[in-house]
């Protein structure tokens, strides 16, 4: 078929991209091999020298300047003698240098490549000494400089150069080298004749480590709030297109749930410490202090991600801090030597789980069974069944694999990044450009005059510039943006075309031929007027273009002339976003295959023809669409103070901020307020912090617009006490606690609820205006409307053991009141319809839980280290008051919200299946949906004992769709130049109601329907995985304990294997580092679902499935 030719063409094109990537890697490997063979040629490099009154060191530097050689030596070993006259005209470098080395008892050795080691000669004075060379790197393989390399017990020591390399003469093979650098654990190394590669392990919990907090940074020892963070290395291990997806399972307290895998719409729900409200629940996201959307951030721009969880850390945000805060810090220039970093990745993705309907023989058999269960005659004869089974006549009795036709085996994702960073005396810079291309999984025709495929193209740019204007004044300019294009079929329009595509795809049984008639028109059948193939290929397309430009400028002035430690900072930011939608839709002809047994076709069988369905016609594209333009402006002014007086450490911050957001032509949405922070520490042991926000939102009436949100926290570092002696075992012991109030003004999309909403209508309850119209209230005002208030408590414990293991544990409690809700209890004689009554601040919800983070880091050898991170968070909420009317006494459960978690599921409890008519007669009468019970139907439990099954027997089942537990286990191993990382991520105490097509037995069937109830299966004891099949409405397919399932899972979220070329090899292609790696996303899932056709993270069988990604990449640094 034409379709499959096109499908193979797509496969070959994408395979070609793999080959191009392979060629690129092969080029680097061949270049390295060429350089390996050229080692001897370095001895033929010639130099011209004319130097007077010089030294051996200066002579070496001159040779380095004229050649690609890099010398490693000990300064003291070169001596201080003066070389009177050094002259050479186009001579080999070694002939020029060797005589002078011999004079001081030295010789040289050219290692693989261009590195030259200066070592001791064979003089009697130095024969016992040994030259040790090597390189010091971090866990990512990046060189560390300046690291100290010292011979233990002596004053003999050197520092690494900018490439992390060192050379030191030691007393002999029994010497011990001590390698150290700030921020890393010291290591003791035995010398080796071969060059050493020493991998330093970051100090697990240095109390002087700087961590990001709200609008600033603090030393870790002084932090009294609940804060967690991860660094760029952890983020980059995930090849996910959406940064939010990369955070799943990595931060204690953060719950991340991916609800779809559609390119550009891979929506991820984020919760910090679960759910505390029925209104907006997502945390605020700040990128370098400015509110932004996490979806569009390039992970290669990110330095760290920090989450603020308790009231102490979020009170500064006042009216918007109740749901927690995510702080994203982007990279800045730090290296004194400019670095150019290139990342290229290519990945293949597929659907690990997708609904697979049964073949045509099984479908026809199951449809006959359903009809017989309804007392109706078979639709398919025994002869037809045999033809479906044998496939002797596939034209008339097809077995169409709609999944194979509509779904690709693989689609591809590409990502490329180029960034440049560095710093000089006055300027620091980081510039990044990125490109992401993500293809969709649905097959599309290639000979259309438009492209209906799912795909995403995104271009990111960022430039962070820091300038030290003088010793007291510095400035910065951040410019960032993206341009994104999403493409999808038009289908039925709207923002989520996959919803209908998958719905009608699941409705299309394999007995329907397709996808096209001999004339190339779309085939459907009488029960489906929107075939999935037509929705994808013939309905048109949607192209959405999003662009964003963000500019932030700031200056900071030291005010030491007023008092030491005082400074002022001002920041101005402007964010402009545009959205352009182009919607091109069309109608198309659809045909139904008709078999006429009264006529004979050319093949001697029954004649086949195609009847036009619903008189549809092919029409040209109808072009439409729309656009949107949003702006956000933000102004911040800070006054900061930090100073130490003996053992007293005092710091403070005052902040004024105002923000204006304009969406399209709406009135601006504005925020304004001040915030303050005051910290005090004594002796590195006792710390107290006070935070407060006083800010307001125009969501509320003037007299209710501003609020004060205070928080206080304290900590005690017991391990710093003079009486604390056991520091070798329990290296850290810290206790902390906090209490405070924070608010939430995000109470829905409807604005100005404090103003009456009145309009003129054709009729109303307020009387005539005399012109045939009346006025009516759409919604009465609530002038007392306020923000939600969250009262938060937190206690924490931090423990360090043996410098290798740390444990951080937090317990929290939150009681949130003033939650905006619609009235549930309304007096019968109130005089107004319920739909015009305004929402009120009446709801109360409590939320409690705990978090545990366990880190183990060990350098087993200088070239072998292990890092393990385990985190677990639990959050359980309960609705204490929802203004919910109490149901009558005969309801088994008299509330549906009060006393239950947010989103608690309810349904009927299934107690098996009815065996026969006698069983039905002896059981409570089932009045579920008004359908009569039959043998094979679900038997529901009578909870209230009234011998009738109805809504009074509905019971809470399972949990909600937001998990109470989320956990992650990360393992990182570095061995020599190899590294491997694994992330296991999971959730628990979560339920989903799996329904709709692909679950319920309607127009199509899946594998589990083959084990539906029949009298024979019940009698034989065969497993039964579905109630009786029917073609009519039944009491079975509704919310009950059969379809509300445990959606807990454990997933191999990420796995990465990398290899870093040794520095002496990568330098041959002019690079500092070259790393090749392979990683994957959503590789395998363990769960308790009865069928493996659904991903447990999805709540709707129509959603675009979550994809599995296999990714290959290289990282080249110059």
pLDDT tens figures, 843-882: 999 999 999 999 998 888 878 899 999 999 999 999 999 9
Residue 614 in domain: no
Residues 29 and 52 occupy one common structural domain: no
Residues 65 and 145 occupy one common structural domain: yes
pLDDT at 965 over 70: yes
Q: What is the pLDDT of residues 873-931, one digit of tens each?
A: 999 999 999 999 999 999 999 899 999 999 999 999 999 999 999 999 999 999 998 88
Instruction: Tell me how far the alpha carbon of residue 164 is from its chain's centroid.
Output: 33
Q: 64: helix, coil or strand?
A: helix
Question: In this predicted structure, what is the pLDDT of residue 65?
Answer: 84
Residue 858 in domain: no
Least confident range from 43-57, 344-358, 863-877: namely: 43-57
Distances (CA, A) of 685 to 221, 688, 784: 8, 10, 46
pLDDT, mean over the chain: 87
856 vs 202, which has greater pLDDT?
Answer: 856
pLDDT at 302 over 70: yes
Which residue from 807, 898, 896, 795 is spatially nearest to 848, judged by alpha carbons?
Answer: 795
Helix, strand and coil content of the chain, in percent to the nearest 5, comes to 15, 45, 40
Is residue 257 within 8 Å of residue 269, measured between CB atoms?
yes
What order of strands is seen across the sheet that includes strand 148-151? 157-159, 148-151, 177-180, 187-189
Is residue 709 within 8 Å of residue 673, measured between CB atoms?
no
CA distance 354 to 468: 56
Question: In this predicted structure, what is the pLDDT of residue 813?
Answer: 98
pLDDT at 113 over 60: no
E strand spans, 424-470: 427-439, 455-470
633 vs 34, which has greater pLDDT?
Answer: 633
pLDDT at 1058 over 80: yes
Is residue 589 within 8 Å of residue 616, measured between CB atoms?
yes
CATH number of the domain encompassing residue 135: 2.60.40.1120
Confidence of residue 38 (pLDDT cuts 50, 70, 90): very low
Question: In this predicted structure, what is the pLDDT of residue 4?
Answer: 35
**Taking the alpha carbons of 90, 94, 95, 100 in that order, is the dihedral positive or negative?**
positive
Structure tokens of 747? 């109470």
Question: In this predicted structure, what is the pLDDT of residue 56?
Answer: 85
Q: What is the pLDDT of residues 234-259, one digit of tens each?
A: 888 889 989 999 999 999 999 999 98
Confidence of residue 86 (pLDDT cuts 50, 70, 90): confident
Distances (CA, A) of 24 to 17, 21, 37, 1058: 11, 5, 20, 17
Distances (CA, A) of 9 to 161, 192, 484, 775: 52, 55, 26, 63
CA distance 661 to 699: 13
Structure tokens of 579? 């959205």
174 vs 129, which has greater pLDDT?
Answer: 174
Which residue from 341, 547, 345 is spatially nearest to 430, judged by alpha carbons?
Answer: 341
Q: Looking at residues 596-602, what average pLDDT do you find?
A: 80
Question: In this predicted structure, what is the pLDDT of residue 1043?
Answer: 92
Q: Looking at residues 418-437, what average pLDDT do you find?
A: 94
Residues 111 and 188 occupy one common structural domain: yes
Number of neighbours of residue 908 by Cβ within 10 angstroms: 28
Confidence of residue 3 (pLDDT cuts 50, 70, 90): very low
Structure tokens of 757? 């909403």
Residues 24 and 129 occupy one common structural domain: no
CA distance 413 to 681: 50
Question: In this predicted structure, what is the pLDDT of residue 1080?
Answer: 96
CA distance 370 to 379: 10
Is residue 856 within 8 Å of residue 864, measured between CB atoms?
no
Residue 26 in domain: yes
Considering 337, 358, 373, which residue would you say is the last residue of a domain?
Answer: 337
Is residue 718 within 8 Å of residue 731, measured between CB atoms?
no
Percent of the chain with pLDDT over 90: 57
Is residue 35 within 8 Å of residue 1069, measured between CB atoms?
yes
Is residue 249 within 8 Å of residue 968, measured between CB atoms?
yes
Residue 429 in domain: no
pLDDT at 765 over 80: no
pLDDT at 274 over 60: yes
Residue 910 in domain: no
Question: In this predicted structure, what is the pLDDT of residue 7?
Answer: 38
Residue 1037 in domain: no
Q: What is the pLDDT of residues 996-1034, one digit of tens each?
A: 766 677 778 999 999 999 999 999 999 999 999 999 888
Residues 279 and 321 occupy one common structural domain: yes
CA distance 138 to 683: 32
Question: In this predicted structure, what is the pLDDT of residue 900?
Answer: 95
Which residue from 123, 408, 432, 443 is spatially nearest to 302, judged by alpha carbons?
Answer: 432
Residue 273 in domain: yes
pLDDT at 17 over 80: no
Distances (CA, A) of 243 to 21, 268, 1099: 24, 9, 21
Residue 832 in domain: no
**Taking the alpha carbons of 1038, 1040, 1043, 1046 in that order, is the dihedral positive or negative?**
positive
pLDDT at 112 over 70: no
Residues 138 and 236 occupy one common structural domain: no
Domain residue limits at 309: 223-337
Bridge partners of 474, per DSSP, are: 468, 556
Q: What is the pLDDT of residues 547-592, one digit of tens each?
A: 999 999 999 999 999 999 999 999 999 999 999 999 999 999 999 9
Considering 291, 315, 337, which residue would you say is the last residue of a domain?
Answer: 337
Q: Which helix (DSSP H) or strand (DSSP E) does residue 574 occupy?
A: strand 566-585
Considering 313, 337, 361, which residue would you say is the last residue of a domain?
Answer: 337
Residues 243 and 271 occupy one common structural domain: yes
Q: Which residues contact 183 (CB under 8 A, 6 or more apart)?
A: 202, 203, 206, 209
Residues 239 and 151 occupy one common structural domain: no
Q: What is the pLDDT of residues 159-170, one digit of tens each?
A: 887 778 888 888
Structure tokens of 120? 């001791």
CA distance 959 to 992: 8
CA distance 750 to 304: 35
Question: In this predicted structure, what is the pLDDT of residue 585?
Answer: 94
Q: What is the pLDDT of residues 934-957, one digit of tens each?
A: 999 999 999 999 999 999 999 999
Q: 1108: helix, coil or strand?
A: strand
Is residue 383 within 8 Å of residue 389, measured between CB atoms?
no
DSSP 82-93: -EEEEEEEEEEH
Q: Looking at residues 953-969, what average pLDDT do you find?
A: 96
pLDDT at 984 over 90: yes
State yes or no: cis peptide before 460, omega within 30 of 0: no
Helices in 850-934 by DSSP H: which ranges? 917-922
Question: In this predicted structure, what is the pLDDT of residue 773?
Answer: 61
Residues 66 and 162 occupy one common structural domain: yes
Residues 25 and 75 occupy one common structural domain: no
| pTM for this entry | 0.83
Residues 14 and 77 occupy one common structural domain: no
Question: In this predicted structure, what is the pLDDT of residue 26?
Answer: 38
Q: 785: helix, coil or strand?
A: coil
Structure tokens of 370? 């359903």
Confidence of residue 818 (pLDDT cuts 50, 70, 90): very high
pLDDT at 799 over 50: yes
CA distance 284 to 271: 10
Q: Which residues contact 314 (CB under 8 A, 6 or more apart)?
A: 214, 308, 321, 322, 324, 325, 711, 742
Total number of domains in the chain:
4
Residues 162 and 295 occupy one common structural domain: no
């Amino acid at each position: 078929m034409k379709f499959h030719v096109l499908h193979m063409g797509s496969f070959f094109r994408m395979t070609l991209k793999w080959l191009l990537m392979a060629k690129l890697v092969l080029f680097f490997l061949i270049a390295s091999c060429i350089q390996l063979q050229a080692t001897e040629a370095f001895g033929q490099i010639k130099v011209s020298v004319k130097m007077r009154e010089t030294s051996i060191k200066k002579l070496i530097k001159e040779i380095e300047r004229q050649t690609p050689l890099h010398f490693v030596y000990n300064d003291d070993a070169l001596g201080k003698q003066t070389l009177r006259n050094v002259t050479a005209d186009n001579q080999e470098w070694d002939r020029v240098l060797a005589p002078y080395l011999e004079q001081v008892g030295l010789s040289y050795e050219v290692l693989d490549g261009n590195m030259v080691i200066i070592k001791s000669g064979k003089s009697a004075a130095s024969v016992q000494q040994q030259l040790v060379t090597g390189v010091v790197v971090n866990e990512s393989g990046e060189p560390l400089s300046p690291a100290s390399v010292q011979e233990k017990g002596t004053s003999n020591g050197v520092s690494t150069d900018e490439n992390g390399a060192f050379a030191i003469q030691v007393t002999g093979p029994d010497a011990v080298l001590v390698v150290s650098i700030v921020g890393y654990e010291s290591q003791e190394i035995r010398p080796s004749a071969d060059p050493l590669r020493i991998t330093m392990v970051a100090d697990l919990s240095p109390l002087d480590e700087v961590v990001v907090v709200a609008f600033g940074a603090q030393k870790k020892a002084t932090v009294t709030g609940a804060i967690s963070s991860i660094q760029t290395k952890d983020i980059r291990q995930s090849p996910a297109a959406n940064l939010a997806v990369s955070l799943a399972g990595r931060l204690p307290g953060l719950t991340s749930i991916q609800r779809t895998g559609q390119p550009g719409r891979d929506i991820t729900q984020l919760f910090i410490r679960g759910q505390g409200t029925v209104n907006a629940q997502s945390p605020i996201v700040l990128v370098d202090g400015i509110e932004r959307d996490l979806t569009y951030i390039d992970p290669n721009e990110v330095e760290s991600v920090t989450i603020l969880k308790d009231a102490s850390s979020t009170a500064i945000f006042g009216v918007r801090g109740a749901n927690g805060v995510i702080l994203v810090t982007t990279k800045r220039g730090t290296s004194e030597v400019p670095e150019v970093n290139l990342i290229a990745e290519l990945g293949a993705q597929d659907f690990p789980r997708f609904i697979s309907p049964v073949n045509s023989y099984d479908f026809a058999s199951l449809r006959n069974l359903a009809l017989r269960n309804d007392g109706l005659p078979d639709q398919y004869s025994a002869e037809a069944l045999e033809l479906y089974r044998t496939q002797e006549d596939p034209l008339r009795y097809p077995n169409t694999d709609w999944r194979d036709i509509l779904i690709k085996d693989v689609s591809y994702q590409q990502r490329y990044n180029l960034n440049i960073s560095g710093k000089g005396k006055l300027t620091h810079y980081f510039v990044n450009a990125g490109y992401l291309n993500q293809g969709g999984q649905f097959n599309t025709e290639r000979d259309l005059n438009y492209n209906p495929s799912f795909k995403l193209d995104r271009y990111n740019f960022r430039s962070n510039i820091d300038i030290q204007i003088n010793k007291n004044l510095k400035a910065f300019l951040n410019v960032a943006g993206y341009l994104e294009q999403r493409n999808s079929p038009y289908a039925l329009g709207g923002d989520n075309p996959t919803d209908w595509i998958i719905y009608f795809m699941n409705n299309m049984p394999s007995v329907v031929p397709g996808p096209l008639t001999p004339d190339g028109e779309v085939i459907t059948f009488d029960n489906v007027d929107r075939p999935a193939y037509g929705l994808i290929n013939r309905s048109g397309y949607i192209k959405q273009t999003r662009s964003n430009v963000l500019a932030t400028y700031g200056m900071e002035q030291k005010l030491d002339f007023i008092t030491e430690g005082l400074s002022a900072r001002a920041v101005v930011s402007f964010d402009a976003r545009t959205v352009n939608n182009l919607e091109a839709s069309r109608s198309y002809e659809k045909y139904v295959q008709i078999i006429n047994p009264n006529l004979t076709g050319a093949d001697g069988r029954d004649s086949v023809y195609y009847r036009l369905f619903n008189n549809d016609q092919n029409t040209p594209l109808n072009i439409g669409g729309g656009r949107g333009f949003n702006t956000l402006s933000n102004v911040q002014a800070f006054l900061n103070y930090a100073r130490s007086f003996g053992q007293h450490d005092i710091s403070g911050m005052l902040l004024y901020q105002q923000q204006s957001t304009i969406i399209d032509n709406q009135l601006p949405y504005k925020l304004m307020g001040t915030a303050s922070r005051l910290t005090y520490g004594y002796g590195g042991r006792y710390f107290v912090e006070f935070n407060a926000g006083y800010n307001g939102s125009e969501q509320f009436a003037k007299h209710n617009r501003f609020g004060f949100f205070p928080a206080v926290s304290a900590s005690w570092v017991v391990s710093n006490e003079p009486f604390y002696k056991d520091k070798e075992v329990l290296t850290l012991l810290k206790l902390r606690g906090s209490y405070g109030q924070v608010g939430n003004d995000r109470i829905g999309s409807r604005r100005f609820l404090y103003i009456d909403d009145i309009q003129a209508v054709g009729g109303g309850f307020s009387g005539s205006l005399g012109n045939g119209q009346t006025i009516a209230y759409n919604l009465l005002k609530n002038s007392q409307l306020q923000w939600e208030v969250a009262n938060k408590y937190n206690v924490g414990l931090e423990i360090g053991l043996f410098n290798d293991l740390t444990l951080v544990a937090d317990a929290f409690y939150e009681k949130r009141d003033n939650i905006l809700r619609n009235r549930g209890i309304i007096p019968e004689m109130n005089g107004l319809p319920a739909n015009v009554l305004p929402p009120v601040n009446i709801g109360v919800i409590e939320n409690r839980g705990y978090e545990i983070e366990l880190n183990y880091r060990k350098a087993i050898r200088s070239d072998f280290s292990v890092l393990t991170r385990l985190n677990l968070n639990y959050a359980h909420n309960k609705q204490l008051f929802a203004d919910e009317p109490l149901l009558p006494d005969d309801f088994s459960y008299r509330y549906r919200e009060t006393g239950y978690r947010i989103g608690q599921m309810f349904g009927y409890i299934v107690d098996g299946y009815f065996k026969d008519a006698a069983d039905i007669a002896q059981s409570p009468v089932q009045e579920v949906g008004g359908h009569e019970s039959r043998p094979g139907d679900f038997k529901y439990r009578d909870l209230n004992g009234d011998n009738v099954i109805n809504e009074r027997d509905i019971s809470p089942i399972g949990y909600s769709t937001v998990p109470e537990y989320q956990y992650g286990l990360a393992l990182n191993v570095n061995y020599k130049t190899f590294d491997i990382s694994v992330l296991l991520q999971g959730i628990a105490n979560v339920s989903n109601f799996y329904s709709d097509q692909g679950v319920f037995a309607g127009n199509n069937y899946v594998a589990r329907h083959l084990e539906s109830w029949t009298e024979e299966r019940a009698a034989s004891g065969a497993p039964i995985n579905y109630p009786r099949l029917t073609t009519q409405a039944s009491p079975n397919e509704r919310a009950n304990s059969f379809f509300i399932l445990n959606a807990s899972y454990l997933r191999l979220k990420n796995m990465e294997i990398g290899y870093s070329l040794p520095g002496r090899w990568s330098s041959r292609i002019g690079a500092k580092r070259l790393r090749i790696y392979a990683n994957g996303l959503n590789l395998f899932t363990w769960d308790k679902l009865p069928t493996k056709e659904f991903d447990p993270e999805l709540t709707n069988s129509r959603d675009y499935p979550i994809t599995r990604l296999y990714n290959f990449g290289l990282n080249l640094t110059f």
